[in-house]
């Protein structure tokens, strides 16, 4: 039994006599989802990335040849994708947006980490106070569209300006 919630869950469910795990990630509205993701990662010991479901209606198959996929972590308050995937990566989204010039195709390709055939540009480890400008985001995504068949935007859990900018870049 997995219970996801916070204040609305009766306190007796958090006692050692009832629960084996009590996972909390901060106190933000998205923390329940983060807690569930971390719990499932620990429970499955990373096997969730290689598990195949027989009757799946949709699957994403990472591959070296074929479709190129980029996961772009636009959470400027602290990128969680790098944390969840245990990336040992020295670059982040900040480098793309801090540079005054639009990055070249080679620069963009050098900033990503690869996990299971999917390129990932993680968000910053520490919160970023400088907002992303719409023209800059558009230019960066336009350049990435030249390289990748699919771009997955991981938007902040709390709806904010970055979420709107990211959504405005999606295909209709």
pLDDT of residue 149: 85
Strand partners, 72: 121, 153
pLDDT of residue 63: 58
**Tokens representing 138?**
């558009």
Q: Look up the pTM and report it.
A: 0.57
What whole-number distance in Å separates Cα of residue 32 and Cα of residue 34? 5
Dmax of the chain from CA atoms?
58
**Tokens representing 27?**
């106190």
Residues in the chain, pLDDT under 70: 1, 6-7, 24-30, 58-65, 78-79, 102, 129-130, 158, 172
pLDDT of residue 60: 65
pLDDT of residue 79: 67
pLDDT of residue 65: 67
pLDDT of residue 141: 82
- Picking from 104, 167, 112, the residue whose alpha carbon sits closest to that of residue 137 is 167
- Calculated CA dihedral for residues 6, 11, 14, 15, nearest 10 degrees: 170
pLDDT of residue 24: 67
State residue 150 phi and psi, 5-degree precision: -135, 140
**Tokens representing 93?**
């989204």
């Amino acid at each position: 039994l997995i219970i996801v919630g916070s204040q609305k869950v009766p306190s007796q469910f958090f006692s050692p006599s009832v629960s084996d795990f009590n996972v909390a990630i901060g106190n933000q509205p998205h923390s329940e989802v983060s807690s569930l993701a971390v719990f499932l990662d620990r429970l499955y010991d990373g096997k969730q990335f290689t598990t195949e479901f027989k009757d799946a209606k949709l699957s994403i198959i990472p591959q070296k040849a074929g479709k190129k996929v980029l996961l772009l972590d636009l959470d400027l308050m602290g990128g969680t994708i790098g944390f969840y995937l245990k990336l040992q990566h020295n670059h982040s989204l900040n480098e793309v947006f801090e540079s005054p010039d639009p990055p070249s195709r080679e620069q963009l390709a050098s900033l990503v980490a690869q996990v299971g055939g999917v390129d990932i540009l993680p968000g910053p480890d520490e919160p970023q106070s400088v907002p992303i400008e719409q023209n800059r985001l558009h230019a960066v995504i336009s350049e990435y569209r030249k390289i990748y068949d699919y771009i997955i935007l991981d938007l902040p859990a709390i709806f904010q300006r970055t979420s709107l900018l990211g959504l405005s870049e999606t295909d209709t």
